[in-house]
Each structure stands twice: as structure tokens, then as C-alpha cells.
Amino acid sequence: MADLKNVFISHVHEDDAGLQKLKDLLASKGMQVRDSSVHKGKFNNAKDEDYIKTGILAPLIKWAGTFICYVSPQTKDSEWVNWEIEYAAKQGMRIVGVWQHGDQGCELPAALKEYADALVGWNGDSIIDAINGKDTCEMPDGSACAVVPLKRHPCGA
């Protein structure tokens, strides 16, 4: 039986297609994920920012066992992604950054630098290890990071 995990995948909507690729990659390695994130297939029409945060996003993030940030060049500038990461950190959740497939490296969202427990490349085994608690810091190609200031991670000394 496949390992089943509840996750929230923080991302920008331009990266929606990557969410299914991430779930397919994990499934090919034996991990099924139930994703509570908001995407085009699960969109809402709410306009009030406070309601979106407290009435929609907060419960979806709390439901998940692990918080994943899908890292692409667009995520660093997203106020929503940064808010979601900060909220997950306040809940004491495990926060895993996953570099977008084919990414050559980009600036990380400020909140991910602050709160990440792990940052991994596009490798199913590495992502699963990070979800399951392994603290690691990788570049998009899977090589070890130079010292990166991840405050909740030992490589950020």
C-alpha cells in the first residue's frame, strides 16, 4: 500500500501545472498525497483578503500534515505564498521547499528562507525524505547548497 500524506502546496497560479507533476512524481515513488491547496481546479470566488486567509486558507493549511512550497521564479514576489509559509510556521508545521522541475535556481521567498526545514531538488526520493522529516538543503539539481540562511535548518549557520 502506498504511503499517504496530507499536504498543502503553496504556489502561484501560473505554476498550477507543476502541482500535478509533483504529485505524479511522488506517486511514482510510492507516496500518494492529498493536496488541500487552492488551484484552478479548486478555485474560489472570494474577494475579501481577511476571509480568504482565515476562512479558506488557514483551515486548508492546518488540515495538512506537511507544508510544501513549490519554488519557481514567481513565488519570491508572492505576498500570498509568504503569508501561507508564515502561517504554517506559526502552526509548527514542517515546511519543505521543492524546486520547480527544470529550475536552474532562483531567489527564494523571504518566508521560506526564514522558516524552511528542508529545501530539495526535483527528485522523488529527496522530496519524500524531506516530507518524512529529513532536514536537507539542496540546489535545483540535487547538489548540496552552499550555506543558505535557512533559520530552522542546520545548514544556515
Cell numbers that stand for 126 in this block? 529527496
**Domain extents in the chain:** 3-156
pLDDT in tens, the chain (157 residues): 468 899 999 999 888 889 899 999 999 999 999 888 876 555 566 678 888 899 889 999 999 999 999 999 999 899 999 999 999 999 999 999 999 998 888 899 999 999 999 999 999 999 999 999 999 999 998 888 875 555 554 444 3
Q: Identify the CA nearest to 72 among candidates 41, 37, 112.
A: 112
Amino acid present at 33: V
Cell numbers that stand for 58 in this block? 488557514
Q: Identify the CA nearest to 137 among candidates 157, 122, 121.
A: 121
Query: CATH second-level architecture of 3-156?
Result: 3-Layer(aba) Sandwich (3.40)
pTM, two decimal places: 0.87
